A and B are shown apart, each in its own frame.
Chain A
């Protein structure tokens, strides 16, 4: 993979992206703004010219497998397996790059697209080549749509891509990033998940096998295309190689998006974000489908699926929300669960009615009105795993961890006290939509 003509800058001496070093996806650009096509090519060099034969595809997918790249949208599914799954059918597959980032607390996909749009488009084009697709849909958050449009226009003008890249704005909904909902959004403008089976890798957009990959995953793919598996594995752990983008929000001095070496201690990531602005009571790890953890338990742990598993957490889509001690974790959780209940696609009874009931019960706990742990647990059991998509499961995961980590606070609330002295709002929640 790593031949001189595919890694043009190596001829000048040091390769641009040295093994074992950050940054990969988010270099510091002194001028600011998105990297233009010319700047992008000057920095990273050209993508290897893809061969059209099956042999080339097979070899490259094997290289992605050796790299150990997994999905960066939250589910961490091995990318090589997805690439193979859509390639076995008779129909030509379709590729969808998922840059919808419907999660209100997360910004990493938007920041990546705003700064290095061409890296994502490289990856989308490469993925399309790999699975034999003629076009790739690039679905992005409206905040970065113009930037991505401009990047796509630059490439068209340069006549670079042999596949058609079609840029679209994602549905402004939490569930809009769920893979089957995204397929429906692209296909018919309705961002609703569908029941499995069929899986979208077998029958997705227009009935074709469909590859849905997060935009960060595609950016990594574009780098593996240039520098190969061994280079990719020079960061991260043996089980979870590479770098990843994390969004750090809450009680740190410089909230923002940072690229980390997977397995870096969680506390070190907070240092990247300027360090703590105040003492913490807890951290939400992964996203709104993630897990609350106590600071002393989670800060020393490697930020990786393996490392975080000891506190029942996982990196998910890379969110770290630091909750300062003057905030109430119960109130924050209740707000997020109310939001998630409102973001149900409204299709499956247990999700529609169950999440609403659970959100109400949590609001009661947060307000000190009542705490009925048996009922709450019963409802969570009746909601977990019972939707067509994983929306209810993710919400339940968040709540279970809140009950675990904020147990002492629940007792306080039952007696009429709350340790939070600020209005909840560390975890951003968009205004409620009209039904």
Chain B
């Protein structure tokens, strides 16, 4: 009884969160959900699109919705710290991590924490920075810790990175290698909004701008930790686990795919599925979730043999699994 009320309260909070973001980011409910899913799955997300599609705004709005103020370092009143780093080619790792500086008073080197020490990190245009910087970021994303000199600093257990990048083909970019892309739970392409939504945006951009400033914090730090806990407890039916196995296996055996999905990829997929179900107000995963998440979670982990395959191969594999599941009846219980 207690648990169910708690879960409904969490669910309603989630709804307000997505609604909140939706007020700013028009016509992108799916993408908003993806970002929230990555958040709840304790992962990180990479947004990829041309400049001006609203990536940064989304990230900022999310951060605002869960933290007290944009530039607030403290974790007072259950708020969440948010930092934003604009990646440029001349950025150095120490600009992220921080560095030892000489404290005149103490006559000693004191570590000055860089912007990575936060809860929500917006890494803008990540592919414009040099690989050195990229790997420094990715290390702390994977390990949740930062090594500076001979000391290792532990990050908070809630550390969420929203990275954005421009399409690889654009000038002045250092493309992220697949091995590093793997660290991101999801990679979503933003895409332009539809005609009607765009019209709506143009008509109301002043109003939207106003709202931007007044985004309220709807979730506290504890709420997020609680939701992350809840996401882990979402029920995943054995048949679906089997399905994920088949899916992952199929990516490895598909003739058009050069590099299939890793086991880590599979685990991440499961985490995301659970979080996604929670975002969609369910306490169990269904085949629609697989269909919805296969592209953002798995696509950037695979290396395709040709451009054509990168569009259809994963789709084929998912279609087959979906068709298999659709034909399946209710299997004998557990």
- Co-complex (A, B): no
Give the interface of B toward A (CB within 8 A). none
Give A residues with C-beta under 8 Å from B: none
